[in-house]
């Protein structure tokens, strides 16, 4: 299993104590997932939210702010557009039109997202015979909003 998490301390909604909170994305059993764990030592409130598929914006924002934005793009000259489309379609979270648009972007400038999302996508591409490179975008989190 691979993953990235951001730990922080927030105030407990029930007792006002310090809650350890962990927000993350992971790849497990070949699938992309996300989770939010909170654990209050004072009143023993423990909650664990976890699901498969694309993470909610609240989770992605935390990871992008902490670890920065990453990009993935195919490398090499003979990239099969059909393979790109298949990879983007196989998890069932995108419409055909959306997958086509993303496949076009992927073949061009590449796609961006969190490190775990991009590593996951690169892994799927490699499974379909497409070599892919993943790397950080820009100079770091501080630059994330530049150019918009």
Q: Which residues bind to Zn ion, rule: CB under 5 A?
A: 12, 14-15, 17, 40, 42-43, 45
CB of 117 to Zn ion, least distance (A): 32
Nearest to 128 by CA among 103, 146, 111, 145: 103
The answer to whether residues 118 and 134 touch, using CB atoms and an 8 Å cutoff, is yes
DSSP secondary structure letter of residue 78: -
Report d(CA 4, CA 135) in Å as an integer. 15
CB of 18 to Zn ion, least distance (A): 8
62 contact partners, CB below 8 Å, separation of at least 6? 6, 23
The answer to whether residues 103 and 88 touch, using CB atoms and an 8 Å cutoff, is yes
CB of 21 to Zn ion, least distance (A): 12
Q: Which is nearer to Zn ion, 6 or 15 (CB)?
A: 15
Q: Which is nearer to Zn ion, 36 or 116 (CB)?
A: 36
Report d(CA 27, CA 25) in Å as an integer. 7
Q: Which is nearer to Zn ion, 43 or 109 (CB)?
A: 43
Q: Which is nearer to Zn ion, 15 or 133 (CB)?
A: 15
CB of 19 to Zn ion, least distance (A): 6
């Amino acid at each position: 299993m691979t993953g990235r998490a951001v730990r922080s301390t927030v105030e407990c909604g029930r007792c006002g104590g310090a809650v350890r909170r962990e927000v993350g994305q992971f790849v497990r059993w070949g699938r992309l997932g996300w989770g939010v764990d909170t654990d209050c030592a004072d009143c023993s409130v423990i909650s664990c939210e976890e699901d498969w598929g694309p993470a909610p914006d609240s989770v992605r924002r935390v990871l992008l702010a902490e670890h920065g934005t990453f990009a993935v793009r195919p490398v090499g000259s003979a990239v099969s557009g059909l393979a790109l489309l298949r990879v983007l379609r196989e998890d069932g979270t995108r419409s055909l039109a959306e997958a086509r648009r993303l496949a076009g972007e992927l073949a061009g400038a590449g796609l961006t997202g969190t490190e775990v999302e991009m590593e996951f996508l690169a892994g799927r591409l490699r499974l379909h015979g497409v070599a892919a490179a993943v790397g950080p975008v820009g100079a770091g989190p501080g630059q994330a909003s530049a150019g918009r």
